[in-house]
Structure 1
Amino acid sequence: MMASSPFLGPKRPFVKTIIIGAGFSGLAMGCKLKAVAKSDDFVIYDQADGAGGTWWANKYPGCGVDIPAVLYSLSFAPNPSFSRLFPKQKEILQYFNDVADRFDVTRHFCFNIRWERAYWQDESSTWLVEMKDLTSGQAFQHECSVLISAVGGVSIPNIPKLQGMDGFEGDIVHTARWKDDLALKNKDVVVIGNGSSASQLIPTIIKDAKSVTQFIRTPQHYMKSQDRAVGSLWTLLFRFVPGLLRLIRAATFLYLETSHAQFNLTRYGAEMRAKSLQLSDLYVRMTAPVKYWGLLTPAHDLGCKRRVFDNDNYLECLNRDNIHLTDDPIIAIEPRSVLTNSGLSYPADTIVFATGFSLSQFDSLLVGRYGYTREMHRKTYGTVEAFKTVAMAGFPNFFYILGPHSGKGHTSTLYAAENFVDLILRVTKPIFEGKASSVEVKFAAEQRFHFEIQGALKNTVFTGLCNSWYIDGKTGKNWFIYPWNSLILWFSTHFGGGSDWTYNYNTRTKANGFHFGILSVSTTVTILLLGRILLALVGTNKT
């Protein structure tokens, strides 16, 4: 049964798969639909006017990645040509476009199209999706068998509403909506925010600006940079020595994975956090001026908020005469200045919001079986939720990539995205083979996963004890973090779990025609060895 759907506009021809989001998640899904599902019948919609997701949206000066590039890349498309350990936005976007072209995904992109709503049609086992062409303003319908949300959370800007903004005579810009022609030379610049974006932006503009005044709310934990150039010799070796780049990638993965234990509320985790905190405090005191130490020393536990990796020497630039750091709240914006709570006024030709992103990727109307909506589902669990981060009971053939609880605070987002793509392809295999028309996670399985993940989160620092975007502001629950290590993530997305799903098989197709697979002896031995290696690296967690 389909709820009433007052759709407007024409209907486009049926397509097997609709992917919403042309970032890395959508790209990975498109590449693997071709390679694994042997399906070329898909479209990737995005409301932006170009592909790349967050790397298309964020073009501010200094924008870059804070995960080593060897791991911030797709496993099936290693890149030997990155110029730095932590490359900047242009290189990441160029890599993205190269992969899209190489795997023939570029022609599947469709831009300036916004997803408005979608309704499940039980009688045909399809989704009817309403889209809006942002160029023409026209709405249209598109029907598909499989609907995938690859909408990320770091592309739609969060811009606070401040008194007097409409009367400001200069430029107001968000880091995720940077203007290419914005001139900051000899300008008084106000930067609001002190997360990763601000720490990358300020060192890049400080030499040209007349002054930079930075307003912060909550101090961050700053970690010393490990960035360096990748020399031409290494580039040649990566290109021509078989397996070297993959070996470095594996070593980087294991190295980053050793830091996962520090986020657990165990004695060993506390010891690791204490060491990291000591290094962070030492870095602040050796680099930043004494007058700012109080503004650079957080009261919250390390890891409660995302750490800032100082690859652009932000703390060093605080020693310059033309920068001022304050936590005096802004109460109003005047035509050429900002007014603070203490009564001070700071000159401003340009105001830059480095205030993060609007987490609106779960807001589009989604109506599943019997009129059950995504908002009803959210109320059922008290927060946004999905089984193994990818699926919801009551919403057949609908999947998230980087959905609720998919975030990793210590390693590559792309690693996580690829694992979730693999899980979706395993689950939908009977659909692409023509054996089934729909698949849906069982309610009991989703409910079990919800209690497991909420229980695991209680044993980590990722709780509501600090003001973090990890926390659902409506409920105080963490909606973002995946609390287990990356080996568990890989295992849980590649093996077992067949009984958690229910299929609507086509006529003459046996219900047991699809198997999630049995672990071979070699696979089991490999998993055990990897577990032993990880335990040796991180030590034993002691409560």
Structure 2
Amino acid sequence: MTVPLPSETRARASYKVQEQPLGTAKHVRIIGIGAGASGINMVRSLRRGLTNFEHVIYEKNSKPGGTWHENKYPGCRCDVPSHNYQFSWRPNPAWSNFCSPAPEIEKYLDDICHEERMMDTIKTNHQVVSAIWDEQRGVWIVTVRNLESGTEFDDEANFLVDASGILNNWKWPDIPGLHNFAGDLIHTARWPEQYEYKNKRVAVIGNGSSGVQLVPAIQPTVEKLCHFVRTPTWILPPLIMSMKMKEGPASKVLAGIEIDEAGNFSQAQIARFRSDPELYRKFIKTIEMDTGGNFPVVLNGGPVQHFATQKVREFMTASLRADERLCKALIPDYPLGCRRMTPAPGYLQSLQAPNVELYTGGISRIMENRIELASGEVVEVDAIICATGFDTSFVPRFPIIGRHGNVQDLMAEVPKGYMSCALPGVPNYFTFLGPNGPIGHGSVFTLSEHIAKYMTGIIRKCQTEGIKSLAPTQAAVDDFSEHIASFMPRTSWSSSCRSWFKGGQDKGAGYVTALHPGSRVHFFHMLETFRGEDWKYVYDRPSGNRFAYLGNGFSTKELDPTSDSTWYLNETATYL
């Protein structure tokens, strides 16, 4: 049901000048969902960009940290260079490894929350279960469950910021009889503390990012490892090896860094990073240019993709010792980048160990103590570990009721959004890495910084320009989606393979819902400017006059004794 806007249902009231100066910020309340990296950064962005506001984050876990708190499986680590997988405002020269293990990243986020005094904003063990937009009042009514007491309560806010994350809602694979298994049934996203897998017959289902990290981590100590692979996947050389092969600026910088074959920095190198900010900054920016410049790899038919494909195939073949059976099973025939590309040190080598068996046929069903393949073969195991990923459909896991109904229903077929940050007909709602966001475009930390600045700027606009609510228009979202569908055939992302980039489907370009249509820098550039013409506004004042915020003729910039009232004489003063 379409809810008419107030300005469409009543005549405008008579206009009166507001007795307040231009720049006055009205009070707003903001509810955030999730205290992972994006939610944590949003706390800082709002503190630095707004005045006169309240902010609370509801986090379902017992601690902040998001995916880095939840994922504790053996071998879990980031596949982005550590010194770029951090906030620009919180550099950490002490990363132990070029690609840090999960516990270090969790500690990094935990330290920020405590040292920046964010825990007063973050309410742990609280889960949002529904959100309903009240058009008349211009507020979100959010129902929250206290997971410790089991009680529910309602909270209200002018703005709702969803930072619950795309790689957060884990799921079991759809295999008949899975939950009839009598042994240990585990998902990598819910790894039991102190779980002992030593000397067990273990099945690992899945060869995505978590599967290729888990297998080499547990292979040396299990009795038997049965690895079930549905689709081949491109395994990249270790990042340091790739950068050195390119012989570019990153290769030259790395030549002067003390780092061992496993990617561990020496203590002397960490000390140099601490004591030499210029070296540290150069290292970060050079590595960022290298990793951020990989977009041409996914452009179909281009020379970069051709060269990269050749080198990765050579690497995989050599790592598999040219074993014909393994090469046929593991090296894809689809274009490089169709599925998420990941380095996985030790993975290909571990598959050649005598205690490992690779299965590429489909699984028919799972019984009490064994797995039956479509071929009829039966494999007996003591434990099944599902490295089968997350629900990446972009459909919210709880009802969000906007102007046109439940977002869960509206997003069910092909999720579409506005620049990955907002949805049509869902006022004052923002989301990190929504449909067609840059989730495959390098460090999420830096991405979340720019997205948070973008959202903060919009909220500040509403505060200071008398805007009660705003949402992107359907026409703007339709145009954006049309561009995406037209652009994606240029990339390997739309090629024929099953991928979570396409919601786990093997469909065409219009179904690439997880990725931004361009490079990392392209996304940053896109968010530099707020396109106000793409949004529908409802104003605070009964008159609906969009210029009511101009007020009594004075400016807060001249009335605030702490501000520079002649800023317009500065050489850096700009006007759009």
Band of TM-score, shorter chain: 0.7 to 0.9
> Which is higher, the Rg of structure 1 or of structure 2?
2
User: Is 1:417 aligned to residue 456 of structure 2?
Assistant: no
1:199 shift after superposition: 1.1
In structure 2, list runs of 5 or more residues that go unmatched. Answer: 4-26, 241-262, 552-567
Residues 61 and 204, structure 1, Cα contact 8 Å, conserved in 2: yes
1:437 shift after superposition: 2.5
1:70 paired residue number: 83
Name the CA shift for 1:522/1:490 in 2 (closer, same or farther; >3 Å): farther
Name the CA shift for 1:459/1:523 in 2 (closer, same or farther; >3 Å): farther
**How does 1:373-452 map onto structure 2 within 5 Å?**
373-375=406-408, 377-378=410-411, 383-433=414-464, 435-452=466-483
2:114 paired residue number: 101
Amino acid at match of 1:461: S
Distance 1:409 1:521 in 2: 39
Residues 441 and 520, structure 2, Cα contact 8 Å, conserved in 1: no
Worse-superposed segment, 29-38 or 206-215: 29-38
1:263 paired residue number: 298
Residues 15 and 43, structure 1, Cα contact 8 Å, conserved in 2: no
Residues 25 and 402, structure 1, Cα contact 8 Å, conserved in 2: no
1:303 paired residue number: 337
Distance 1:368 1:40 in 2: 23
CA deviation string 1:78-107 (max 9, x = no partner): 111110010100001011111222322222
**Secondary structure of the equivalent of 1:70?**
helix
1:534 paired residue number: none
CA deviation string 1:114-136 (max 9, x = no partner): 22221111222111111222333
Residues 454 and 530, structure 2, Cα contact 8 Å, conserved in 1: no
1:280 paired residue number: 312
Cα RMSD for the two superposed structures: 2.7
1:249 paired residue number: 284
1:467 shift after superposition: 0.6
1:522 shift after superposition: 7.9
Distance 1:299 1:184 in 2: 34
Residues 438 and 520, structure 2, Cα contact 8 Å, conserved in 1: no
- TM-score if structure 1 supplies the norm length? 0.86
1:159 paired residue number: 172
1:473 shift after superposition: 5.7
User: Is 1:294 aligned to residue 328 of structure 2?
Assistant: yes
- The higher relative CO (CA closer than 8 Å, separation ≥ 6) is in 2
Amino acid at match of 2:104: E
User: Is 1:35 aligned to residue 48 of structure 2?
Assistant: yes
**How does 1:142-541 map onto structure 2 within 5 Å?**
142-226=155-239, 228-265=263-300, 267=301, 269=302, 271-289=303-321, 290=323, 291-311=325-345, 313-359=346-392, 362-363=395-396, 364-369=398-403, 371-375=404-408, 377-378=410-411, 383-433=414-464, 435-463=466-494, 465-472=496-503, 477-507=511-541, 510=547
Worse-superposed segment, 395-404 or 283-292: 283-292
Distance 1:352 1:41 in 2: 43
Name the CA shift for 1:183/1:168 in 2 (closer, same or farther; >3 Å): same
Tell me the percent identity.
Answer: 28
1:11 paired residue number: none
Worse-superposed segment, 203-212 or 489-498: 489-498
Distance 2:336 2:189 in 1: 26
**Secondary structure of the equivalent of 2:494?**
coil
1:2 shift after superposition: 10
Worse-superposed segment, 208-217 or 351-360: 351-360
Worse-superposed segment, 395-404 or 219-228: 219-228
**Secondary structure of the equivalent of 2:143?**
strand
1:110 shift after superposition: 1.7
1:57 shift after superposition: 1.4
Name the CA shift for 1:27/1:18 in 2 (closer, same or farther; >3 Å): same
Amino acid at match of 1:492: M
1:360 shift after superposition: 5.8
Worse-superposed segment, 40-49 or 301-310: 40-49
